[in-house]
Chains A and B, each alone.
Chain A
């Protein structure tokens, strides 16, 4: 079953572009990455799913329900962590969490204790006294507190130190193992690579690729770097070679094509060393943004 289904969703803010004709879907239990640089339309998409903003055209369904008509019902089972967290400044952390919990049915006392212990969050401090990172922790606990079935995470790791990021990822994995579907937006590829099964890449408001993270890494590109004497870029004029770079007697490029052709070519060149590897997601990503 598809937890999120987005069809030709378009949002303009007046004349300014938000997203254009975005379509993708996320299955139950997935951790779905949503990658793009700032301003590409990641937050716009998430805000449309939450009915914080209204689509110009197209539609979106969450849990099979139209976000325009069933907003409150859908949000009952959504945990949202915004990229910038702001809460009522005068409140204590515990009062804010209780207020948040009061919108949902159930008793979340134990869970509040457990989550804040994991995230090392002091419940008795005033929100206005918290550092940015600590506010982010409040956001995490608040987002997970009511046992949502879908987590919408918008750049969740900004402001968290590496140790907390790790704890946070462990928490997300644990939730996911319990059946929670995760939608994870980020511009940091390594974290998406660590966590997600599938990714959508968004560029200037449009989806350029939706793909399994493995196929994205495996099927397309090889990163080849070699050292040897008399290596000139002219030696490699095969189609499918990109990003050819030469530095201090070594030659690097990406190759996308018949692997036998390139091996044959390499055979004819005297080499001292060669390295053929999977490109990192970062490098693939840069390719989409050229």
Chain B
């Protein structure tokens, strides 16, 4: 079992490096604009007040004023979440389907290990990758804020609550991706699926309110782990977190069921 974990972990290191660098760059570069924002707070607020409410919500500029450290950070965090969603979606959609599309499933599944062990080793490897990704986001977030907050105060405790939501957030995209990959006939390429799921969920959250009374946004993790809410309340929205976790867990359990019964088709 450890050999599969090791193999899976190593083969994901390159992608981890790319995501880590991209997300770090995103956080640091974006946040380096904060001092300018904070200086011109009055002008900015006036400017933003002219935008329609829905547009401001869509870009994560809803509740919290942008000239505070946490407000500005929550605006960036939305894009960090989008990256994390795509990364987790990639991992989920590709977890087992990649063995089939690259035709290595025959090799792996004819080794003397059960499918459940294969699946758990892979999930464990992905979890390790997610934990490392999370760590990178923690370090670069605290780092960027430390460097560029220009003397303005911020709430490290609140930031910690926000950042600890990352793992749950990614777990959702991982298991939903895995589940979808097991109900479609064949996943030829992972990226279109993970981009679709990531942006789809983002759009649901951003424009769900525009649609009126239909509570579509309740199914998206971008709503479940809305940075604005967490910062304003200094806590997660536990009701939504429970919905999120239950859906993800259900998808995972169904995925295990489907994978154990799956026919691995011959290469043709």
Contact = CB atoms under 8 A, between A and B. Distances in A.
Contact of B104 (A13, A44, A54, A88): A88
Interface in A65-119: 71-76, 78, 80, 82-84, 86-90, 99-100, 102-104
Interface string B236-268: 000000000000000000000000010111110
A9 interface: no
Given A13-B263, A84-B267, A104 B104 contact: no
Given A72-B112, A99-B3, A102-B3, A87 B264 contact: no
Interface string B1-13: 0010001000100
B111 A86 contact: no
A72 B114 contact: yes
Contacts, number: 63
A47 B267 CA distance: 11
B104 A80 contact: no
Contacts of B113: 72, 103
A43 B265 CA distance: 10
Nearest to B113: A72
A22 B103 CA distance: 27
B267 A82 contact: yes
B111 A103 contact: yes
A103 B111 CA distance: 7
A6 interface: no
A87 B263 contact: no
B213 interface: no
Contact of A87 (B3, B7, B107): B107
Interface residues of A, number: 31
A75 B264 contact: no
A148 B113 CA distance: 15
B106 interface: yes
Given A72-B112, A72-B114, A75-B111, A86 B266 contact: no
A90 B103 CA distance: 13
Given A84-B103, A86-B107, A99-B7, A75 B112 contact: yes
Given A50-B110, A71-B114, A80-B110, A43 B266 contact: yes
B102 interface: yes
A50 B102 CA distance: 19
B54 to A, nearest CB: 46
A160 B207 CA distance: 59
Nearest to A47: B266
B186 to A, nearest CB: 13
B30 to A, nearest CB: 34
A151 B265 CA distance: 20
Nearest to B3: A102
A83 B268 CA distance: 10
A52 B264 contact: yes
Contacts of A89: 102
Contact of A52 (B11, B104, B109): B109
A54 B112 contact: no
B107 A47 contact: no
Nearest to B109: A52
A53 B264 contact: yes
A11 to B, nearest CB: 9
Interface in B86-138: 102-107, 109-114, 117
Contacts of B102: 86, 88-89
A86 B103 contact: yes
A145 B72 CA distance: 59
Interface centre among B103, B114, B261, B263 (most CB of A within 10 A): B263
Nearest to B105: A52
A82 B261 contact: no
A105 to B, nearest CB: 10
A86 B106 contact: yes
A100 to B, nearest CB: 7
Contacts of B264: 47, 52-53
A43 B102 CA distance: 19
Contacts of A88: 11, 102, 104
A75 B106 CA distance: 12
Interface in B1-48: 3, 7, 11
Closest 8 CB pairs of A and B: A86-B103, A76-B112, A53-B263, A103-B111, A102-B3, A75-B112, A52-B264, A84-B267
Given A88-B11, A99-B3, 12 more contacts: A47-B266, A52-B106, A54-B261, A72-B112, A75-B110, A80-B110, A82-B106, A84-B103, A86-B102, A88-B102, A100-B111, A103-B113
23 contacts: A47-B266, A51-B109, A52-B106, A52-B110, A53-B263, A53-B264, A54-B261, A71-B114, A73-B112, A76-B112, A78-B110, A82-B267, A86-B103, A86-B106, A86-B107, A86-B267, A88-B11, A90-B11, A99-B3, A103-B3, A103-B111, A103-B113, A142-B107
